[in-house]
Structure 1
């Protein structure tokens, strides 16, 4: 919208010059009197009174071009676009070549009113004039691109059936910027009451959103606005925007708050180089909690507002990196939302071809880690108005957004709709678990780590909740994951989630009982892998082996027996030999990693110690395993 105001104030200068020179297209003294009076009122920013005077001017002389254009500029400022279009067109009808800028301004307003065919004609006419500035030429060409896209998009609408989230979430006040946890059990959003923005949350019960409650006195403030938030997939961390706070570095800064029990701790502003004296806002955190996307107008960008990213390291957040011209344009890009697949980015822009003003777009990372050309989500998800603040469920089939155009409870309400299939992210599921002491059954705060095994890359690392032992992490389809849960004084827990070649039909819900380190206790190493009938360790086993080495180093008095097991398929003697060779391979790996051989023994049991039914493939898969057992401590 900044171009609207640039052109508006340029028009004030133009017509003040006319007023001083006394040269008008009208000779009617009364019309000129009202026009001059209107200019004085505009000098004092009394725009409504100026409109009244200009109305009298065109009533006195309907051929008064300057008065029509000035009226159109003022109506555009008031966002009465229909009236603005009417007066611009009247000025052109009187003299098509009187003022070339009228065509650019008219075309811009016609785009806002979804009058794309007319807008394109007027913008093309504007480009025929000589000596127009490069900036205005680029802007006219950008608006023509909008028209070309919109004309086709309107003729090819996508499915769009928004559903109001109901009175549990929406009220007579404004509600917007919704974000949900990965399991869709909690929704956090902004509510604006008496011009003050605060966070509220709603819990889903029996597939219905419950009455929203005030989030936290530790986060919300009575004197400052909080908004534009992003919640980690497990709901433990909230990234949000705080503006004009005493501890801020700029007008708006990004803060982090951590959930503690049923409440939230005090938020902390992110240190430089993320927060600066510029405007930093609209954070979106990746699923692994290590990459933060946000919006800033800081120096070094491409447009007015750009999307940037920063990565969390052992030394803190890195120097922010602009996402570059694959995402950002010379105009504005805002409201980033990185989906839990860590591969799909949704955002709004008024720079990429759209239906006018800000539209919603999606971009995906290619195999080389480069953002692909953004795709417009289409009509009627996008319109000639402003669309922003879109977030998706972890599964990716539904989106949340806010609107004041759909006859909701009042002002902006929050809605959901089914995403068009081509705009969806990669399929994502989640693992949700609870960690308890195997003896006492009391919750445990344990280290939870999920590793993408093929690349040996940590995709999730956090602690289970101290109060409830809970954790939650998202898993993208097409990959093989290893889960490790550990705590000092306990045996670690190992699990595997293979999503290669299959679509996850439901999330993984697990209850984990960690056993204290005691002689006789066993751990199944579910992420030790061998090819069929072979005993060479596969590279995907490295993460699990590293965890076992760490366990041995942390518990120097412990001695273990490494055992190999097979299913009942094939020759019994060959199975025993195979299982022993596999156990020996793990033994050799640990010895090579400087774990004392005196602390290790290995055995092969073949098919003699099944833990599941060998009559099913799933059972046989469980029986093909590597274990270790505590034999001394």
Structure 2
């Protein structure tokens, strides 16, 4: 009977005390039991189950066989069957083995019977001689039970809706991510144990039949999964395992949309990837911070969440998110919302309802991350929840589940996120850049700068075929949009989205005009206080763009023009407009722009672009612009 020690497969913490071992007087039952032990030693658990079932059929009071069978089922995560057999052990002999109480409690926790799980964990914790590891693990599970009992009493709103037959099939579909405009979704589908990416586009409120993402990315011999997409839909970060160019078992790769096809992916390399395991990337809205999961040295548990910032020479050395996020257990599936402040992830280390639960944390300036908060029941259950993503407004969440009533296996669902679990709402600007004369789409550089911080919210180029771009912006900030292309005048725009407008995107067209004498550019991001000609600090971004333009086009000469609305008398407005134009002129010359390339003039209220009937129209008339005088 010494072989009974094999039943725990190193799953349970060391107990530090003995067990009461019994055997069957039925010789045939005992023979099946010993054959089961041999099967366990060879890790052929199905055979062991068969032999133990036969042993119990010969002797239905064979307590050791029930214990053995319960532990195998628990090892295979078949907790309902494990429960049946643990209960039989306690029915026959409650004093048979102290670790039975741990086994039945863990099985109850993982089937949602939190009240009985708490009773049995406490019973196990009361036994003398527990190791420190046992005490820590049991205390963690007790905290899970206490949390779960209260969470079930206070359910959160949760009404999942299938994304439909265009996406879901009788195969497994999971890990959905959507673009900021919610027009495209990319997800993983497993077919014959091979994981590939599929994509679907939305037609009104219906997702169309999904197609394989790209032959450049999907392969027959390797798995592709655990992906994220940049809000504009142009960059795909994903996990590739066991590839010839890999640094470890699983690495993070990137592919770029090139107008009509995805590029061949390339390995991000060191320091993101290591000989260890890197996976589950999530990219910030500005494309400059990558969150991911790794088993590298320096972590706090088995799987930790790390981040790396993009520097001038590539990705910086990753930093562990630390004890505010990571525990001694596993944290996975990070999703950083485009607000760049709200992080969702899964964990079995923070108090939860069993297995892995979904959590939310928010970054506060200067204090790091808030304590993670469980999303609650029934978003979380005793099953594993992971792979959550949200739309830009934060109102809609996407996830995968194998819940009953689906198309088969895991399916993709969405649900309305409860208000108190939402990130900060984010809007977006979606535009198309084209040649003003020919109307043909242009590949142009797009920069969107937060005027308060000076940081880029977006810095990329338009789709080379369609001339389109999409970038997210957080309400409560002012943003400068600059569009430029060699041989063309640049274009500027200003956005100040507020919370009420958060769900209403900006849709714009950008007609770029070639550099010609008489060409005119309104400098929408040069700012003055009312009745003042002193430049505000937010103006430096636009002025820097103008300086770059003049340096890139050394033969060009411009006139800087100031304009006002019709509020006040003509003379005062003329003087104010000229002083503002002179201020811009002086700034440019102070930055080594030759005065021979510059002139300035104030036009007062004499050249309005619209009437002055509303404040918005008057604001349009209060402007600074420049005109090409010499090409």
Q: Residue 7 and residue 263 in structure 1: after superposition, are their counterparts in 2 closer, same or farther (change >3 A)?
A: farther
**Of residues 332, 339, 342 in structure 1, which corresponds to 2:340?**
342
Q: Which moved more, 1:124-133 or 1:356-365?
A: 124-133
Q: Residue 12 and residue 375 in structure 1: after superposition, are their counterparts in 2 closer, same or farther (change >3 A)?
A: closer
Are positions 1:253 and 2:246 aligned together? no
Distance 1:498 1:525 in 2: 16
Q: Residue 13 and residue 604 in structure 1: after superposition, are their counterparts in 2 closer, same or farther (change >3 A)?
A: closer
Aligned residue for 2:202? 204
- Deviation string for 1:416-449 (max 9, x for gaps)? 1111111111110110111111111111111100
Alpha-carbon offset, residue 131 of structure 1: 2.2
Alpha-carbon offset, residue 371 of structure 1: 1.2
- Deviation string for 1:525-582 (max 9, x for gaps)? 1111111121211111111111111111111121111111111122222222222221
SS across alignment from 1:260: coil
SS across alignment from 1:145: helix
Q: Residue 450 and residue 136 in structure 1: after superposition, are their counterparts in 2 closer, same or farther (change >3 A)?
A: same
Distance 1:24 1:118 in 2: 27
Aligned residue for 2:383? 385
Kindly tell me the number of residue pairs found equivalent between the two proteins. 626
Alpha-carbon offset, residue 107 of structure 1: 1.4
Distance 1:458 1:552 in 2: 22
Alpha-carbon offset, residue 506 of structure 1: 1.2
- Under a length normalisation based on structure 2, what TM-score does the superposition of the two structures give? 0.95
Distance 2:89 2:618 in 1: 83
Alpha-carbon offset, residue 598 of structure 1: 2.1
SS across alignment from 2:136: helix
Distance 1:294 1:476 in 2: 23
Q: Which moved more, 1:21-30 or 1:333-342?
A: 21-30
Kindly indicate whether the alpha-carbon contact (under 8 Å) linking 1:280 and 1:294 is maintained by their aligned counterparts in 2.
yes
Distance 1:587 1:100 in 2: 85
Q: Which moved more, 1:435-444 or 1:598-607?
A: 598-607
**Of residues 496, 499, 503 in structure 1, which corresponds to 2:497?**
499
Kindly indicate whether the alpha-carbon contact (under 8 Å) linking 1:359 and 1:388 is maintained by their aligned counterparts in 2.
yes
Distance 1:310 1:144 in 2: 35
Distance 2:378 2:535 in 1: 53
Aligned residue for 2:10? 10
Aligned residue for 1:554? 552
Alpha-carbon offset, residue 482 of structure 1: 0.4
Aligned residue for 2:404? 406
Distance 1:233 1:127 in 2: 49
Distance 1:6 1:570 in 2: 92
Aligned residue for 1:441? 439
Alpha-carbon offset, residue 207 of structure 1: 2.0
Alpha-carbon offset, residue 7 of structure 1: 8.1
**Of residues 591, 611, 618 in structure 2, which corresponds to 1:593?**
591
Aligned residue for 1:46? 44
Distance 2:12 2:605 in 1: 89
SS across alignment from 2:227: strand
Alignment of 1:388-467 (within 5 A): 388-467=386-465
Distance 1:23 1:13 in 2: 19
Alpha-carbon offset, residue 12 of structure 1: 11
- Deviation string for 1:224-260 (max 9, x for gaps)? 1111111111111111111111111111111111111
Distance 1:64 1:219 in 2: 55
- Unmatched 5+ residue regions in structure 1? none
CA RMSD of aligned residues (A): 2.2
Q: Which moved more, 1:106-115 or 1:494-503?
A: 494-503
**Of residues 56, 75, 78 in structure 1, which corresponds to 2:76?**
78
**Of residues 141, 147, 150 in structure 1, which corresponds to 2:148?**
150
Alpha-carbon offset, residue 118 of structure 1: 0.7
Kindly indicate whether the alpha-carbon contact (under 8 Å) linking 2:222 and 2:243 is maintained by their aligned counterparts in 1.
yes
Kindly indicate whether the alpha-carbon contact (under 8 Å) linking 1:427 and 1:503 is maintained by their aligned counterparts in 2.
no
- Deviation string for 1:152-181 (max 9, x for gaps)? 111111111111111111112111111111
Aligned residue for 1:217? 215
Kindly indicate whether the alpha-carbon contact (under 8 Å) linking 2:425 and 2:499 is maintained by their aligned counterparts in 1.
no
SS across alignment from 2:49: helix
Alpha-carbon offset, residue 99 of structure 1: 2.4
Distance 1:611 1:457 in 2: 31
Kindly indicate whether the alpha-carbon contact (under 8 Å) linking 1:11 and 1:73 is maintained by their aligned counterparts in 2.
no
Distance 2:78 2:89 in 1: 17
Q: Which moved more, 1:45-54 or 1:80-89?
A: 45-54
Q: Residue 454 and residue 178 in structure 1: after superposition, are their counterparts in 2 closer, same or farther (change >3 A)?
A: same
- Deviation string for 1:250-294 (max 9, x for gaps)? 111111111112211111001111111111111111111111111
Q: Residue 554 and residue 375 in structure 1: after superposition, are their counterparts in 2 closer, same or farther (change >3 A)?
A: same
Q: Residue 528 and residue 23 in structure 1: after superposition, are their counterparts in 2 closer, same or farther (change >3 A)?
A: closer
Kindly indicate whether the alpha-carbon contact (under 8 Å) linking 1:11 and 1:70 is maintained by their aligned counterparts in 2.
no
Q: Residue 285 and residue 314 in structure 1: after superposition, are their counterparts in 2 closer, same or farther (change >3 A)?
A: same
Kindly indicate whether the alpha-carbon contact (under 8 Å) linking 2:518 and 2:628 is maintained by their aligned counterparts in 1.
yes
Distance 1:221 1:529 in 2: 53
Kindly indicate whether the alpha-carbon contact (under 8 Å) linking 1:336 and 1:345 is maintained by their aligned counterparts in 2.
yes
SS across alignment from 1:218: coil
Distance 2:216 2:335 in 1: 25
Q: Which moved more, 1:65-74 or 1:428-437?
A: 65-74
SS across alignment from 1:622: helix
Alpha-carbon offset, residue 8 of structure 1: 3.0
- Unmatched 5+ residue regions in structure 2? none
Distance 2:47 2:239 in 1: 38
Kindly indicate whether the alpha-carbon contact (under 8 Å) linking 1:7 and 1:105 is maintained by their aligned counterparts in 2.
no
Distance 1:480 1:589 in 2: 22
- Deviation string for 1:389-441 (max 9, x for gaps)? 11111111101111111321111111111111111111101101111111111
Alpha-carbon offset, residue 468 of structure 1: 1.0
**Of residues 267, 278, 281 in structure 1, which corresponds to 2:279?**
281
SS across alignment from 1:72: helix
Aligned residue for 1:576? 574
Distance 2:120 2:485 in 1: 69
Kindly indicate whether the alpha-carbon contact (under 8 Å) linking 2:166 and 2:200 is maintained by their aligned counterparts in 1.
yes
Distance 2:490 2:319 in 1: 38
Distance 1:289 1:436 in 2: 25
Alignment of 1:15-164 (within 5 A): 24=22, 26-164=24-162
